[in-house]
Structure 1
């Protein structure tokens, strides 16, 4: 799957990594629902760091369509709320 982190670029991420990422996504969703700004910030950074760690960066000139778009590390709680689906940021 091709994942874009807004403002950074794209990475190719194997489907096998999504179970691990979904745990962080669930935690992020719970923190958003409770209004835990510090926990939200910490978990968002952990999620994006994990995507960077597990993913293989695509060249900057690559024109692959992104199947998943994640917010910038400095996104606000409200900005991330607009990106959510019923499943959180990460489907599955």
Structure 2
């Protein structure tokens, strides 16, 4: 079995921030995903109870409790309220 990472990017990447994650490190990781070909990156931030959505076209959305996290064109039938996402935490 080869070592390392596969030579392709996923369509969707989901990063869950821990309290010790530095913002710059998370943004750098998002940049790596997007520059590698990932279409959509969700950064889940439990302490802030928000989700930041990064897209390949460069747009960014910050979702709060009353918003809806959508799979957009990638997962058209997916919709989840951040309130539901953070209810278990």
TM-score normalized with structure 1 length:
0.29
RCO higher in structure (CA 8 A, sep ≥6) = 1
TM-score normalized with structure 2 length:
0.30
Q: Of Structure 1 and Structure 2, which has the larger fraction of its residues in strand?
A: 2
Q: Of Structure 1 and Structure 2, which has the larger fraction of its residues in helix?
A: 1
